[in-house]
Chains A and B, each alone.
Chain A
């Protein structure tokens, strides 16, 4: 069975470091998607902690609706994950 195709939109630091606006990965969960991101863009290695969780300086939003912290969350085909820098201000 093929894995769902997920689009990762990059903003802020992730976009600057990856030098692309989005990535397409195949992943069944948020954690798998993040692992794919790191595999495709080694400059984003710090996105994931050693335990596989999202590093605190980043945020993930599912389709711009909900922020996601649970890396085991399942993904559906066509989902879009937004990878952002945390903190606003200024």
Chain B
């Protein structure tokens, strides 16, 4: 079996010990790696109904069979844990040298349980661990922490770190590596609860692949295709170019989802940013796309993606591009998920304007207030920032009144930058998502941006197509490759089977991978069921189901409880689940999930 060590490293911070645990070929073939294998490990290593911030909770770093090969974009890892924001399964992906060094440390995954008694760094080198003090690092931002770790441990070590937000258990804190983040769901808080400032990895243990010559040839081919038109948008403009398009289509969430267009969109547009602020373009390790566009701000250069731009800009009614860039830079350093913190501040702005929340006169459009709030939230400095550090669901429950009706979350995870009333297949994707409102685990928006569906009138016929986008995401997140590559494949499942065959040596087929993808999606669902999921969670905030948008063609777009439920019912049916969304025993058997 190529591509795998066939074991994971289980680290118990309570005792300061680690041991290898064998991963059978059956488990690896059924769950592959990344998000899939991480889900299997969480089922087995995290106690049922554990508090995500308890010492018993498991934090999983998961690599993949492709990590370490020359395949473009393969230097990725997944972080999987029970989310302190949603109390459901959370998986987040990040890129670069941590994945390469982590796999060379001798394991296909790192499972961390227990907690340290004082701020610490966990050092893993060729399977041996040591825990060292982080007392001088505690309180530092992610950039400074990474810099000091580099000086202390040398360049052969690569680190995943938390900023102040993770230390203070902000429920949407990130884990960062090389200025990229495992961003969603509060994994940084899980790491902070274990008093871990950083995990460092290094090693020399390379894994052979089954057919080295064909892997090299496939890598050349994939790299060549990655230079083509399917990735040109990411390479030449970056995702920030979505903003003007979404604005034109009434799909740009504005002022806490009260509008679908922003009057200052031109000023914030990717086109404007690229013309006035872009200073560089960079790539992750092992990537030939180069989608990272770096922009200048008055407080330094910053990488900016559409999601950060929408959340810190239009969602908060802010049109000053320097404010948005500075806010994004602050979030990177503090370790805050830009989507969740932007949505939470926007929600607070609306609560303040409605008189539901005493927040020093907080108003939409107040960029200086946003910039001042971010550090306060990251350290829970006062009662307001402590409230906002909890995310919109918990904040709304405490604020009371009708605040929960317009708190923009699903299962506790704040919505990304896709207006669900004008993108109604995406509305379905948000409602049923295992980690909550999510644009990376469901690509249902691709159907809204196509002639296959009527985006203003979601229909049950779209459910099967939405399922297919989830399955593709589950597979690509488990192999792992970057989703920005998806357009270069002509037959994604068949070509994925080709890649896995030459890396692992398995006689794997496209049909097997379709089943694998369904298995992984269902395994996530089963984890949530174990933790208390019921179908009442598969919905959207009341705002989206009772208020329309008031401008232009968007007035035609109304999403009702009944329409959404019809789509959800069709989704459950397309998944083969029961009418109440539960997974039947027979399907558990068919998908070989009986060991969960």
Contacts and interface: CB of A to CB of B under 8 A. Distances in A.
A59 B449 contact: yes
B248 interface: yes
Interface string B259-282: 000000000001100100000000
Contacts of A56: 230, 487
Interface string A42-56: 000010000000011
Interface in B436-472: 439-440, 443, 445-446, 449-451, 454-456
Contact of B241 (A65, A67, A85): A85
Contact of B483 (A11, A55, A59, A89): A89
Nearest to B309: A90
Nearest to B423: A88
Nearest to A11: B245
A57 to B, nearest CB: 5
B237 A12 contact: yes
B259 to A, nearest CB: 15
Interface string B233-251: 1001111111011101110
A73 to B, nearest CB: 10
B143 interface: no
A65 B307 contact: no
B306 interface: yes
Nearest to A57: B229
Interface residues of A, number: 28
Given A66-B451, A86-B449, A88-B445, A57 B233 contact: yes
The SS class assigned to the A binding surface is loop
A38 interface: no
Given A9-B248, A67-B451, A57 B230 contact: yes
Contacts of A86: 233, 449, 487
A79 interface: no
Nearest to A90: B239
Interface in A73-90: 82, 84-90
Nearest to B450: A67
A64 B556 CA distance: 12
A90 B305 contact: yes
Contacts of B242: 12, 88, 90
A86 B450 CA distance: 9
A16 interface: yes
B456 A65 contact: yes
A87 B233 contact: yes
A72 to B, nearest CB: 13
Contact of A64 (B249, B271, B483): B249
Interface of A: 9, 11-13, 15-16, 46, 55-57, 59, 61, 63-70, 82, 84-90
15 contacts: A11-B248, A12-B233, A12-B270, A57-B229, A66-B454, A67-B451, A69-B451, A82-B245, A82-B249, A84-B449, A87-B486, A88-B242, A88-B306, A89-B483, A90-B242
Q: Which 5 A-B pairs have the closest CB atoms?
A: A90-B239, A69-B451, A90-B306, A90-B305, A85-B233
Given A13-B241, A16-B274, 18 more contacts: A11-B244, A11-B245, A15-B271, A16-B236, A16-B237, A59-B449, A63-B553, A67-B449, A68-B451, A82-B248, A86-B449, A87-B446, A87-B484, A88-B242, A88-B439, A90-B238, A90-B242, A90-B305
